[in-house]
Amino acid sequence: MTEETELLVQAIKSLQSNALKDYLFPSSVALISGGIGVWAASFSVSKQEKSRIEIDKIMK
């Protein structure tokens, strides 16, 4: 029974979480991904507006 109890205790101890791995890493990845998406959208809209302005200059 003691051996089984020790194995159970070891299994429970191995379930402890790591805050960096469990919380900080996924949050930072999501924030960085969101930031890159915002930058890409802003860049593409800006490029389209500049192109539209140049086309309007030619059409006038």
**Global confidence as pTM:** 0.65
Q: How confident is the model at residue 42 (pLDDT cuts 50, 70, 90)?
A: very high
Q: Which domain holds residue 28?
A: 18-59
- Is 90 exceeded by the pLDDT of residue 43? yes
In a domain, 9, yes or no: no
Long-range contacts of 15-22 (CB under 8 A, 24+ apart): none
DSSP 10: H
In a domain, 34, yes or no: yes
- Is 90 exceeded by the pLDDT of residue 16? no
Dihedral (CA of 45, 47, 51, 57) sign: positive
- The Cα 35–Cα 40 span in angstroms is 9
In a domain, 54, yes or no: yes
Quick one: tokens of 48?
């389209």
